[in-house]
Amino acid sequence: MTALPLSAEPDLGSSPSDSGPPDQATVDWFADWFRHIEANISRAIRGKPEVIHLALVALFAEGHLLLEDVPGTGKTSVARSVAASIGSTWQRIQFTPDLLPSDITGVTIWDQQTGSFRFHPGPVFANIVLADEINRASPKTQSALLEVMEEHRVTIDGEPHPVPRPFLVIATQNPVDMDGTYQLPEAQLDRFLIKTSIGYPSLDDEIAILETHRLGSAVDQLEAVLPAEQAPVMTGIATRIHVSPEVQRYVATICQATRTLPSVRLGASPRASLALVRAARAEAASAGRRYVAPEDVKRLAVPVLSHRLLLTPDAEAQGLEPATLVDQVIAATPVPTAPA
C-alpha cells in the first residue's frame, strides 16, 4: 500500500482484521495511517516531527505521555491536535493545589427523582486527557490518575467505570517556577510510557506559525482523518508485532545495565522493560515492519527509560542527566545480529 495523501478519502470499511498475527498488508495499512495522522498534526505543530511521532507511539502502544517544558511551547496544542486528528473527545484538567480527586474521576450523587445514586463522570472520561501542570496538584490528587492510567477504569464506591478507548493521558509540567509544586513520585512517573519535551521552534518554523495563525488557531482548523473507533484497531495491530528472543534479551540487558550504574540509585524496573517492548512494537509498525528491530529499541530507549532513573545525590550535584546515562548504556550494549 502506498502512503495516503491528505486529500484522500480512504475506505475504512476495508481495514484489516484485528485477529491473528499481522501480515504485511496489515502492517502497511497501519504505517499508512500513522503517517497520514502525523502529516495532519504537523499542519498545526510546526517543526516538531519527533514530538508528534512519540505522541502517536504512546497512543497506539496504549501508554501515556509526559511533556516537560516551559510555557508557550505548544504542549496543549499537541494534545488537542492528536484528539482532533482521530476524531476523539478530549478534556483538559488544570491541576491546582485545591483540585480534589473527585474533580478528576467524578462522583456519585443521590438522585431524588429515581431514588438511587447516580454516577457523574469526571473529565478523565475522554479519549485524550490533558493533565495540565500536573505537578501543581497535591500528591493525593495526582494519585487519582494512577488507577485509570494503568487499568483504564475508575472505581467509585466499589463500582468500576471503564474509560473510553482509545485512552491517552498527556500530562505537562513546567520545569521553572517550581514554588508550590509537588514533584511527581516514582510510582506516578513509572505510569508514563514516554517523557519528552517540545522546545522552542526554529526561526523559520516560528515565522510559519505566525503566518498560520493569521487566519485563526491552526488546531481549530484540523479535521479528523481517522475515526476514533479505528484507533483500537491500530492498537491491536501494534500489540501483535513480533519481538524475537534476541531483541527481548537486548531490552532486558539494557534495563539491567541501568541498575548497576554507579550514578544511579534506582534503575529501570521490569515494568520499564515491558514499556520499552510495547513502545518498540508501535515504532516498528509505524515503519511498516512486522518485527521489532534493535533500531526501534535504540530510538525509544531515552524517552521511555530516562524518566524512570533516579540519580544519586552526587550525580545530581555534578549535573548528570538520565538521558546521557541511557545513551551510555545503549552505546556499551552489544546489538543483536541474529535475524528478528
pLDDT in tens, 314-323: 999 998 999 9
Where residue 1 falls among pLDDT bands split at 50, 70, 90?
Answer: very low
Predicted model pTM: 0.88
Q: What residue segments make up the domains of the chain, in order of their start?
A: 21-235, 241-334
What confidence score (pLDDT) does residue 17 get? 46
Query: What fold characterizes domain 241-334?
Result: Helicase, Ruva Protein; domain 3 (1.10.8)
Where residue 177 falls among pLDDT bands split at 50, 70, 90?
Answer: low
Share of the chain above pLDDT 70, in %: 91
Contact 87, 125 (CB under 8 A): no
- Average pLDDT in the chain: 86
Where residue 14 falls among pLDDT bands split at 50, 70, 90?
Answer: very low
Omega into 123 within 30° of 0, i.e. cis? no
Where residue 258 falls among pLDDT bands split at 50, 70, 90?
Answer: very high
- Answer with the residue of higher pLDDT: 89 or 216: 89
What confidence score (pLDDT) does residue 179 get? 60
Q: Which residues pair with 194 in a beta bridge?
A: 65
CATH entry 3.40.630.30 includes domain 21-235? no
Q: Are strands 106-111 and 264-266 parallel, antiparallel or unpaired?
A: unpaired
Where residue 12 falls among pLDDT bands split at 50, 70, 90?
Answer: very low
Position 340 pLDDT exceeds 60 = no
User: Helices 270-286 & 245-258, crossing angle to 10 degrees?
Assistant: 130
Whether 241-334 and 21-235 are alike in CATH topology: the answer is: no
What confidence score (pLDDT) does residue 155 get? 85
Q: Which three cell numbers stand for residue 18?
A: 484485528
- Cα–Cα distance for residue pair 53/283, rounded to 1 Å: 9
3-state secondary structure 217-280: CCCCCCCCCCCHHHHHHHHHHHHCCECCHHHHHHHHHHHHHHCCCCCEEECCCHHHHHHHHHHH
- Answer with the residue of higher pLDDT: 312 or 13: 312
- Cα–Cα distance for residue pair 327/36, rounded to 1 Å: 31
Q: Which three cell numbers stand for residue 209?
A: 506559525
Burial of 334 (0-12, 13-18, 19+ CB in 10 A): exposed
- Cα–Cα distance for residue pair 284/242, rounded to 1 Å: 9
Q: Give the mean pLDDT of 166-170.
A: 92
What confidence score (pLDDT) does residue 185 get? 77
